[in-house]
A and B are shown apart, each in its own frame.
Chain A
Amino acid sequence: MTVSDEELLAAVRAGDTDSLGTLVLRWQEPLFRFVYRMLPQTEDARDICQETFLRVLKKAHRFREGSRFSTWMYQIALNLCRDRLRKRKRWKLVMSERREFDEQLATAGTALGADDDPARAAESREQGQAVLRALHEIPPEQREVLVLKEFEGLKFREIAELLGCPESTVKSRMYYGLNGMRTALSRRGIRR
Protein backbone atom coordinates (compact mmCIF):
# COMPACT_ATOMS: atom_id res chain seq x y z
CA MET A 1 0.00 0.00 0.00
CA THR A 2 1.40 3.40 -1.00
CA VAL A 3 2.22 5.71 1.86
CA SER A 4 0.68 9.17 1.39
CA ASP A 5 2.81 12.29 1.00
CA GLU A 6 1.46 13.65 4.26
CA GLU A 7 2.40 10.47 6.14
CA LEU A 8 5.90 10.62 4.66
CA LEU A 9 6.24 14.23 5.75
CA ALA A 10 5.12 13.30 9.27
CA ALA A 11 7.90 10.72 9.29
CA VAL A 12 10.37 13.37 8.13
CA ARG A 13 9.27 15.59 11.02
CA ALA A 14 10.01 12.68 13.33
CA GLY A 15 13.56 12.53 11.96
CA ASP A 16 13.22 9.86 9.26
CA THR A 17 15.24 11.23 6.34
CA ASP A 18 14.57 8.12 4.23
CA SER A 19 11.01 9.36 3.94
CA LEU A 20 12.29 12.60 2.46
CA GLY A 21 14.20 10.54 -0.08
CA THR A 22 10.94 8.82 -1.02
CA LEU A 23 9.22 12.19 -1.42
CA VAL A 24 12.10 13.44 -3.58
CA LEU A 25 11.89 10.39 -5.84
CA ARG A 26 8.14 10.77 -6.12
CA TRP A 27 8.06 14.50 -6.85
CA GLN A 28 11.39 15.36 -8.48
CA GLU A 29 10.10 14.97 -12.02
CA PRO A 30 6.78 16.86 -11.74
CA LEU A 31 8.47 19.55 -9.67
CA PHE A 32 11.30 20.01 -12.16
CA ARG A 33 8.80 20.15 -15.01
CA PHE A 34 6.75 22.79 -13.20
CA VAL A 35 9.75 24.95 -12.24
CA TYR A 36 11.32 24.65 -15.70
CA ARG A 37 8.14 25.99 -17.28
CA MET A 38 8.12 28.94 -14.90
CA LEU A 39 11.77 29.77 -15.57
CA PRO A 40 13.62 29.64 -18.84
CA GLN A 41 16.91 28.05 -17.66
CA THR A 42 17.71 24.45 -16.75
CA GLU A 43 20.35 25.55 -14.27
CA ASP A 44 17.90 27.83 -12.44
CA ALA A 45 15.30 25.05 -12.40
CA ARG A 46 17.81 22.63 -10.86
CA ASP A 47 18.79 25.17 -8.19
CA ILE A 48 15.20 25.89 -7.30
CA CYS A 49 14.20 22.22 -7.13
CA GLN A 50 17.13 21.56 -4.84
CA GLU A 51 16.27 24.55 -2.66
CA THR A 52 12.61 23.46 -2.55
CA PHE A 53 13.48 20.01 -1.20
CA LEU A 54 15.87 21.55 1.32
CA ARG A 55 13.13 23.87 2.55
CA VAL A 56 10.69 20.98 2.75
CA LEU A 57 13.17 19.32 5.11
CA LYS A 58 13.88 22.45 7.14
CA LYS A 59 10.25 23.58 7.39
CA ALA A 60 8.51 20.23 7.74
CA HIS A 61 7.45 21.27 11.23
CA ARG A 62 5.45 24.17 9.75
CA PHE A 63 3.32 22.00 7.51
CA ARG A 64 -0.34 22.38 8.54
CA GLU A 65 -2.23 19.19 9.27
CA GLY A 66 -5.05 18.70 6.80
CA SER A 67 -3.21 20.51 3.98
CA ARG A 68 -1.96 18.82 0.86
CA PHE A 69 1.78 18.25 0.61
CA SER A 70 1.90 18.84 -3.15
CA THR A 71 0.22 22.24 -2.83
CA TRP A 72 2.62 23.25 -0.07
CA MET A 73 5.65 22.07 -2.04
CA TYR A 74 4.54 23.89 -5.19
CA GLN A 75 3.95 27.05 -3.16
CA ILE A 76 7.53 26.91 -1.88
CA ALA A 77 8.80 26.37 -5.43
CA LEU A 78 6.62 29.14 -6.81
CA ASN A 79 7.91 31.66 -4.26
CA LEU A 80 11.47 30.69 -5.12
CA CYS A 81 10.70 31.13 -8.83
CA ARG A 82 9.27 34.58 -8.17
CA ASP A 83 12.37 35.57 -6.19
CA ARG A 84 14.59 34.36 -9.00
CA LEU A 85 12.63 36.29 -11.61
CA ARG A 86 12.81 39.46 -9.51
CA LYS A 87 16.58 39.08 -9.20
CA ARG A 88 16.91 38.47 -12.91
CA LYS A 89 14.93 41.61 -13.63
CA ARG A 90 17.28 43.56 -11.38
CA TRP A 91 20.41 42.19 -13.05
CA LYS A 92 19.06 43.47 -16.34
CA LEU A 93 19.76 46.99 -15.06
CA VAL A 94 23.47 46.38 -14.96
CA MET A 95 24.15 43.56 -17.37
CA SER A 96 24.04 44.48 -20.99
CA GLU A 97 23.39 41.00 -22.29
CA ARG A 98 21.77 37.91 -20.86
CA ARG A 99 20.59 34.91 -22.74
CA GLU A 100 16.91 34.78 -21.97
CA PHE A 101 15.12 31.47 -22.17
CA ASP A 102 17.19 30.23 -25.13
CA GLU A 103 16.50 26.62 -24.19
CA GLN A 104 12.74 27.03 -24.22
CA LEU A 105 12.82 29.01 -27.44
CA ALA A 106 14.86 26.26 -29.08
CA THR A 107 12.14 23.69 -28.46
CA ALA A 108 9.08 25.94 -28.78
CA GLY A 109 6.54 24.68 -31.27
CA THR A 110 7.90 21.14 -31.31
CA ALA A 111 5.47 19.82 -28.73
CA LEU A 112 3.15 18.53 -31.43
CA GLY A 113 5.83 16.36 -32.93
CA ALA A 114 7.96 16.50 -36.04
CA ASP A 115 6.59 17.87 -39.25
CA ASP A 116 7.73 16.24 -42.47
CA ASP A 117 7.59 19.55 -44.31
CA PRO A 118 10.70 21.54 -43.25
CA ALA A 119 9.09 24.85 -44.19
CA ARG A 120 6.06 24.18 -42.02
CA ALA A 121 8.28 22.93 -39.21
CA ALA A 122 10.31 26.13 -39.34
CA GLU A 123 7.16 28.23 -39.39
CA SER A 124 5.82 26.27 -36.44
CA ARG A 125 9.04 26.88 -34.51
CA GLU A 126 9.02 30.60 -35.26
CA GLN A 127 5.43 30.91 -34.21
CA GLY A 128 6.15 28.96 -31.04
CA GLN A 129 9.04 31.27 -30.22
CA ALA A 130 6.85 34.32 -30.77
CA VAL A 131 4.22 32.85 -28.46
CA LEU A 132 6.74 32.18 -25.69
CA ARG A 133 8.14 35.70 -26.01
CA ALA A 134 4.60 37.07 -25.78
CA LEU A 135 4.01 34.93 -22.70
CA HIS A 136 6.96 36.59 -20.99
CA GLU A 137 5.61 40.06 -21.80
CA ILE A 138 2.43 39.74 -19.80
CA PRO A 139 2.38 40.47 -16.04
CA PRO A 140 3.91 37.65 -13.94
CA GLU A 141 0.72 36.91 -12.00
CA GLN A 142 -1.12 36.29 -15.28
CA ARG A 143 1.78 34.28 -16.70
CA GLU A 144 1.77 31.98 -13.65
CA VAL A 145 -1.88 31.14 -14.21
CA LEU A 146 -1.38 30.50 -17.92
CA VAL A 147 1.58 28.21 -17.27
CA LEU A 148 -0.22 26.28 -14.55
CA LYS A 149 -3.32 25.91 -16.70
CA GLU A 150 -1.92 25.25 -20.17
CA PHE A 151 1.37 23.52 -19.40
CA GLU A 152 0.57 21.80 -16.11
CA GLY A 153 -3.10 21.13 -16.79
CA LEU A 154 -4.28 22.09 -13.31
CA LYS A 155 -7.93 22.89 -12.61
CA PHE A 156 -8.84 26.46 -11.70
CA ARG A 157 -9.68 25.34 -8.18
CA GLU A 158 -6.22 23.73 -7.83
CA ILE A 159 -4.49 26.83 -9.17
CA ALA A 160 -6.45 28.99 -6.71
CA GLU A 161 -5.34 26.76 -3.85
CA LEU A 162 -1.74 26.86 -5.02
CA LEU A 163 -1.65 30.61 -5.44
CA GLY A 164 -3.68 31.30 -2.30
CA CYS A 165 -6.28 33.45 -4.06
CA PRO A 166 -9.99 33.09 -4.98
CA GLU A 167 -10.94 31.03 -8.00
CA SER A 168 -12.58 34.06 -9.57
CA THR A 169 -9.22 35.88 -9.40
CA VAL A 170 -7.52 32.98 -11.16
CA LYS A 171 -10.10 33.00 -13.94
CA SER A 172 -9.83 36.75 -14.27
CA ARG A 173 -6.03 36.56 -14.60
CA MET A 174 -6.43 33.78 -17.16
CA TYR A 175 -8.83 35.89 -19.18
CA TYR A 176 -6.62 38.99 -19.17
CA GLY A 177 -3.51 36.89 -19.69
CA LEU A 178 -4.89 35.31 -22.86
CA ASN A 179 -6.01 38.73 -24.07
CA GLY A 180 -2.61 40.20 -23.28
CA MET A 181 -0.88 37.45 -25.22
CA ARG A 182 -3.09 38.06 -28.19
CA THR A 183 -2.17 41.77 -28.15
CA ALA A 184 1.53 40.94 -27.91
CA LEU A 185 1.24 38.47 -30.79
CA SER A 186 -0.61 41.02 -32.92
CA ARG A 187 2.30 43.42 -32.43
CA ARG A 188 4.54 40.72 -33.86
CA GLY A 189 2.25 40.14 -36.81
CA ILE A 190 1.01 36.75 -35.62
CA ARG A 191 -2.70 36.68 -36.38
CA ARG A 192 -5.20 33.93 -37.04
Chain B
Amino acid sequence: MMNENDYKTIDQYLQGALSDEQEAMFKKRLAEEEELAAAFAIKQQMASYLKAKSQQPALEAEMTVLGQRYFKTSKPTKAKLIKMPFLRIAISVAAALVLLMLVWNPFNSGDLYTQFAEHPPLALIEKSISSSLIQQAEQAYANKEYETVYTVLASILENNPGNPQMKLAMGISALELGKLETAQQIFSELANGTSGLKSYGQWYLALSYIKQGKDEKAKLILEKLNNDEAALKKKAAKLIELLQ
Protein backbone atom coordinates (compact mmCIF):
# COMPACT_ATOMS: atom_id res chain seq x y z
CA MET B 1 0.00 0.00 0.00
CA MET B 2 1.18 3.51 -0.74
CA ASN B 3 1.56 5.97 2.07
CA GLU B 4 2.50 9.63 2.29
CA ASN B 5 6.13 8.73 2.84
CA ASP B 6 6.20 6.87 -0.45
CA TYR B 7 5.20 10.00 -2.35
CA LYS B 8 7.92 11.90 -0.53
CA THR B 9 10.48 9.25 -1.47
CA ILE B 10 9.45 9.42 -5.10
CA ASP B 11 10.01 13.17 -5.05
CA GLN B 12 13.38 12.80 -3.41
CA TYR B 13 14.43 10.16 -5.91
CA LEU B 14 13.45 12.40 -8.81
CA GLN B 15 15.45 15.25 -7.31
CA GLY B 16 18.47 13.02 -6.76
CA ALA B 17 18.24 13.61 -3.02
CA LEU B 18 18.46 9.99 -1.90
CA SER B 19 21.65 8.40 -0.64
CA ASP B 20 23.13 5.59 -2.73
CA GLU B 21 21.75 3.04 -0.29
CA GLN B 22 18.28 4.56 -0.22
CA GLU B 23 18.29 4.80 -4.00
CA ALA B 24 19.18 1.13 -4.39
CA MET B 25 16.39 0.19 -2.00
CA PHE B 26 13.94 2.38 -3.85
CA LYS B 27 14.82 0.84 -7.21
CA LYS B 28 14.31 -2.61 -5.73
CA ARG B 29 10.88 -1.61 -4.50
CA LEU B 30 10.01 -0.20 -7.93
CA ALA B 31 10.74 -3.57 -9.46
CA GLU B 32 8.61 -5.37 -6.88
CA GLU B 33 5.71 -3.06 -6.03
CA GLU B 34 3.33 -2.39 -8.88
CA GLU B 35 1.46 0.44 -7.19
CA LEU B 36 4.65 2.30 -6.38
CA ALA B 37 5.94 1.81 -9.91
CA ALA B 38 2.72 3.19 -11.38
CA ALA B 39 2.73 6.24 -9.11
CA PHE B 40 6.38 6.80 -9.91
CA ALA B 41 5.79 6.59 -13.65
CA ILE B 42 3.19 9.34 -13.52
CA LYS B 43 5.35 11.59 -11.35
CA GLN B 44 8.22 11.06 -13.76
CA GLN B 45 6.04 11.97 -16.73
CA MET B 46 4.80 15.09 -14.98
CA ALA B 47 8.33 16.21 -14.14
CA SER B 48 9.47 15.64 -17.72
CA TYR B 49 6.41 17.47 -19.04
CA LEU B 50 7.04 20.53 -16.85
CA LYS B 51 10.70 20.58 -17.80
CA ALA B 52 10.00 20.37 -21.52
CA LYS B 53 7.30 23.01 -21.23
CA SER B 54 9.64 25.48 -19.54
CA GLN B 55 12.20 25.02 -22.31
CA GLN B 56 9.71 25.17 -25.13
CA PRO B 57 9.62 28.94 -25.82
CA ALA B 58 13.37 29.18 -26.22
CA LEU B 59 13.38 26.09 -28.44
CA GLU B 60 10.60 27.45 -30.64
CA ALA B 61 12.35 30.78 -31.01
CA GLU B 62 15.51 28.98 -32.08
CA MET B 63 13.56 26.81 -34.54
CA THR B 64 11.98 29.86 -36.09
CA VAL B 65 15.38 31.30 -36.91
CA LEU B 66 16.74 28.01 -38.19
CA GLY B 67 13.57 27.34 -40.18
CA GLN B 68 14.05 30.60 -42.03
CA ARG B 69 17.60 29.65 -42.80
CA TYR B 70 17.10 26.06 -43.94
CA PHE B 71 13.66 25.88 -45.50
CA LYS B 72 13.41 27.95 -48.65
CA THR B 73 9.82 29.05 -48.75
CA SER B 74 8.53 30.65 -51.90
CA LYS B 75 6.24 33.06 -50.12
CA PRO B 76 6.77 35.09 -46.95
CA THR B 77 6.50 32.77 -44.00
CA LYS B 78 3.10 32.70 -42.40
CA ALA B 79 3.38 33.10 -38.70
CA LYS B 80 1.03 31.09 -36.58
CA LEU B 81 -0.84 33.94 -35.02
CA ILE B 82 -2.39 32.77 -31.83
CA LYS B 83 -5.01 34.96 -30.26
CA MET B 84 -3.34 36.76 -27.41
CA PRO B 85 -5.47 39.41 -25.76
CA PHE B 86 -2.84 42.09 -25.92
CA LEU B 87 -0.40 41.55 -28.73
CA ARG B 88 -0.43 40.74 -32.41
CA ILE B 89 2.97 40.51 -34.07
CA ALA B 90 3.42 41.83 -37.58
CA ILE B 91 5.60 39.83 -39.92
CA SER B 92 8.38 41.57 -41.69
CA VAL B 93 9.09 39.89 -45.01
CA ALA B 94 12.64 41.10 -45.19
CA ALA B 95 13.50 40.36 -41.62
CA ALA B 96 15.75 37.45 -40.94
CA LEU B 97 13.96 36.85 -37.66
CA VAL B 98 10.23 36.20 -37.67
CA LEU B 99 8.54 36.97 -34.40
CA LEU B 100 6.03 34.31 -33.52
CA MET B 101 3.51 34.43 -30.75
CA LEU B 102 3.80 31.06 -29.11
CA VAL B 103 0.86 28.85 -28.28
CA TRP B 104 1.58 27.94 -24.72
CA ASN B 105 0.45 30.99 -22.79
CA PRO B 106 2.03 30.73 -19.33
CA PHE B 107 5.47 29.85 -20.63
CA ASN B 108 5.37 32.38 -23.44
CA SER B 109 8.62 34.26 -23.46
CA GLY B 110 10.83 33.12 -26.33
CA ASP B 111 10.31 36.15 -28.48
CA LEU B 112 9.70 38.64 -25.69
CA TYR B 113 13.46 38.81 -25.28
CA THR B 114 13.94 39.89 -28.87
CA GLN B 115 11.23 42.50 -28.48
CA PHE B 116 12.66 44.09 -25.39
CA ALA B 117 16.36 43.60 -25.97
CA GLU B 118 17.04 47.05 -27.42
CA HIS B 119 20.50 47.90 -26.18
CA PRO B 120 21.44 51.41 -25.04
CA PRO B 121 24.37 53.22 -26.67
CA LEU B 122 27.41 52.91 -24.44
CA ALA B 123 30.46 55.13 -24.31
CA LEU B 124 33.42 53.17 -23.02
CA ILE B 125 36.06 55.39 -21.48
CA GLU B 126 38.97 54.36 -19.37
CA LYS B 127 41.99 56.59 -18.89
CA SER B 128 44.55 53.89 -18.30
CA ILE B 129 43.70 51.78 -21.32
CA SER B 130 44.84 52.22 -24.90
CA SER B 131 42.28 54.29 -26.73
CA SER B 132 42.46 52.17 -29.87
CA LEU B 133 41.32 49.07 -28.00
CA ILE B 134 38.46 50.96 -26.41
CA GLN B 135 37.53 52.47 -29.74
CA GLN B 136 37.51 49.01 -31.28
CA ALA B 137 35.14 47.75 -28.59
CA GLU B 138 32.93 50.81 -28.86
CA GLN B 139 32.70 50.57 -32.63
CA ALA B 140 32.00 46.86 -32.52
CA TYR B 141 29.26 47.44 -29.94
CA ALA B 142 27.62 50.08 -32.12
CA ASN B 143 27.75 47.65 -35.05
CA LYS B 144 26.31 44.84 -32.93
CA GLU B 145 29.45 42.76 -33.51
CA TYR B 146 29.08 41.11 -30.15
CA GLU B 147 31.73 38.48 -30.67
CA THR B 148 34.34 41.24 -31.08
CA VAL B 149 33.00 43.27 -28.17
CA TYR B 150 33.11 40.24 -25.94
CA THR B 151 36.63 39.23 -26.89
CA VAL B 152 38.12 42.72 -26.63
CA LEU B 153 36.43 43.59 -23.35
CA ALA B 154 37.19 40.22 -21.82
CA SER B 155 40.87 40.75 -22.48
CA ILE B 156 40.78 44.33 -21.16
CA LEU B 157 38.89 43.37 -18.02
CA GLU B 158 41.27 40.54 -17.33
CA ASN B 159 43.96 43.00 -16.33
CA ASN B 160 41.95 46.08 -15.49
CA PRO B 161 39.16 46.74 -13.04
CA GLY B 162 37.40 48.53 -15.88
CA ASN B 163 34.21 50.47 -15.25
CA PRO B 164 30.48 49.75 -15.13
CA GLN B 165 29.94 50.74 -18.79
CA MET B 166 32.49 48.18 -19.95
CA LYS B 167 31.01 45.53 -17.74
CA LEU B 168 27.51 46.23 -19.04
CA ALA B 169 28.71 46.14 -22.65
CA MET B 170 30.44 42.84 -22.00
CA GLY B 171 27.38 41.48 -20.25
CA ILE B 172 25.14 42.48 -23.15
CA SER B 173 27.52 40.87 -25.61
CA ALA B 174 27.62 37.69 -23.55
CA LEU B 175 23.83 37.69 -23.48
CA GLU B 176 23.57 38.15 -27.24
CA LEU B 177 26.12 35.38 -27.77
CA GLY B 178 24.16 33.03 -25.57
CA LYS B 179 26.80 32.90 -22.85
CA LEU B 180 24.11 33.08 -20.24
CA GLU B 181 26.09 32.11 -17.16
CA THR B 182 28.73 34.77 -17.80
CA ALA B 183 26.09 37.34 -18.65
CA GLN B 184 24.16 36.64 -15.46
CA GLN B 185 27.30 36.87 -13.36
CA ILE B 186 28.06 40.31 -14.76
CA PHE B 187 24.50 41.60 -14.48
CA SER B 188 24.18 40.34 -10.90
CA GLU B 189 27.37 42.19 -10.00
CA LEU B 190 25.99 45.40 -11.44
CA ALA B 191 22.57 44.85 -9.89
CA ASN B 192 24.04 44.33 -6.45
CA GLY B 193 26.52 47.17 -6.75
CA THR B 194 26.16 50.88 -6.23
CA SER B 195 27.15 52.20 -9.65
CA GLY B 196 24.91 54.33 -11.82
CA LEU B 197 24.16 51.26 -13.91
CA LYS B 198 22.57 49.29 -11.09
CA SER B 199 19.11 49.41 -12.68
CA TYR B 200 20.55 48.28 -15.99
CA GLY B 201 22.10 45.33 -14.19
CA GLN B 202 18.69 44.44 -12.80
CA TRP B 203 16.95 44.97 -16.15
CA TYR B 204 19.38 42.80 -18.07
CA LEU B 205 19.36 40.11 -15.42
CA ALA B 206 15.60 39.93 -15.89
CA LEU B 207 16.02 39.81 -19.68
CA SER B 208 18.50 36.97 -19.38
CA TYR B 209 15.96 34.99 -17.37
CA ILE B 210 13.37 35.65 -20.04
CA LYS B 211 15.78 34.28 -22.62
CA GLN B 212 15.93 31.10 -20.56
CA GLY B 213 12.18 30.92 -20.22
CA LYS B 214 12.38 31.62 -16.49
CA ASP B 215 9.51 34.08 -16.56
CA GLU B 216 8.67 34.00 -12.89
CA LYS B 217 12.24 34.75 -11.88
CA ALA B 218 12.35 37.60 -14.35
CA LYS B 219 9.11 39.06 -13.03
CA LEU B 220 10.43 38.99 -9.48
CA ILE B 221 13.41 41.13 -10.48
CA LEU B 222 11.43 43.51 -12.67
CA GLU B 223 9.03 44.20 -9.83
CA LYS B 224 11.93 45.26 -7.62
CA LEU B 225 13.57 47.47 -10.25
CA ASN B 226 14.98 50.73 -8.87
CA ASN B 227 13.05 53.86 -9.62
CA ASP B 228 15.97 56.01 -10.76
CA GLU B 229 15.77 55.09 -14.44
CA ALA B 230 12.31 56.17 -15.60
CA ALA B 231 12.61 54.70 -19.09
CA LEU B 232 13.64 51.29 -17.75
CA LYS B 233 10.93 51.35 -15.13
CA LYS B 234 8.38 51.99 -17.86
CA LYS B 235 9.69 49.14 -20.02
CA ALA B 236 9.69 46.88 -16.98
CA ALA B 237 6.05 47.68 -16.25
CA LYS B 238 5.12 46.81 -19.84
CA LEU B 239 7.08 43.57 -19.72
CA ILE B 240 5.55 42.56 -16.39
CA GLU B 241 2.13 43.04 -17.93
CA LEU B 242 3.03 40.86 -20.91
CA LEU B 243 4.32 38.17 -18.60
CA GLN B 244 0.99 37.81 -16.77
Note whether A and B form a binding pair: no
List A residues at the B interface (Cβ < 8 Å): none
